[in-house]
């Protein structure tokens, strides 16, 4: 049982917060807490003897056995908040959309690519202008370099180059 001491001030009218003249207390006492006397004779006071003074009261939570609390927790259904439902729904929708798009082929390899074997005397610019005519030359050279992981424009005769598809 957890307890917290509640101090009262006799000079203040009922309902006023200490240190704040003329203002009412911001929060009422929660309904699940009870005021119980803190004196050693607290159980005797309940039996009809002299009650404890108002300044000797303690706020206490009702006594609940651990077994009862465990049964209540086990019996409680799983509750998902609004934010949780939104997260689950959006995740499921995203997964379904990605699966459908990948099955339709929208998300997949960039496109069909072809390859060219470099002949003696050929340059990367010549190959780019022949194989990718609708693309600006500098962009075509860069695309071929990236597709083949080349750091320079130097190529050798007999080398096989992948031409990315558009």
CA distances from 12 to 19, 29, 58, 84, 118 (A): 10, 17, 19, 46, 98
Is a pLDDT exceeding 50 seen at residue 12? no
Rounded distance, CA 88 to CA 100, Å? 18
Is a pLDDT exceeding 80 seen at residue 152? yes
pLDDT-derived band at 31, boundaries 50, 70, 90: low
> What's the pLDDT at 100?
87
pTM over 0.85: no
Place of tokens 């009412």: 24
């Amino acid at each position: 049982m957890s307890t917290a001491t509640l101090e009262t001030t006799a000079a203040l009218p009922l309902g006023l917060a200490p240190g704040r003249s003329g203002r009412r207390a911001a929060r009422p006492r929660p309904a699940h807490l009870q005021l119980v006397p803190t004196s050693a004779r607290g159980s005797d006071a309940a039996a009809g003897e002299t009650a404890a003074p108002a300044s000797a009261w303690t706020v206490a939570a009702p006594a609940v056995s651990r077994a009862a609390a465990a049964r209540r927790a086990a019996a409680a259904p799983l509750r998902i908040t609004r934010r949780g439902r939104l997260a689950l729904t959006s995740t499921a929708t995203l997964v379904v959309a990605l699966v459908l798009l990948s099955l339709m082929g929208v998300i997949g390899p960039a496109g069909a690519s072809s390859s060219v074997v470099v002949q003696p005397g050929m340059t990367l610019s010549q190959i780019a202008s022949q194989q990718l005519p609708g693309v600006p030359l500098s962009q075509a050279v860069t695309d071929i370099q990236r597709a083949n992981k080349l750091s320079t424009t130097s190529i050798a005769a007999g080398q096989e180059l992948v031409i990315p598809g558009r």
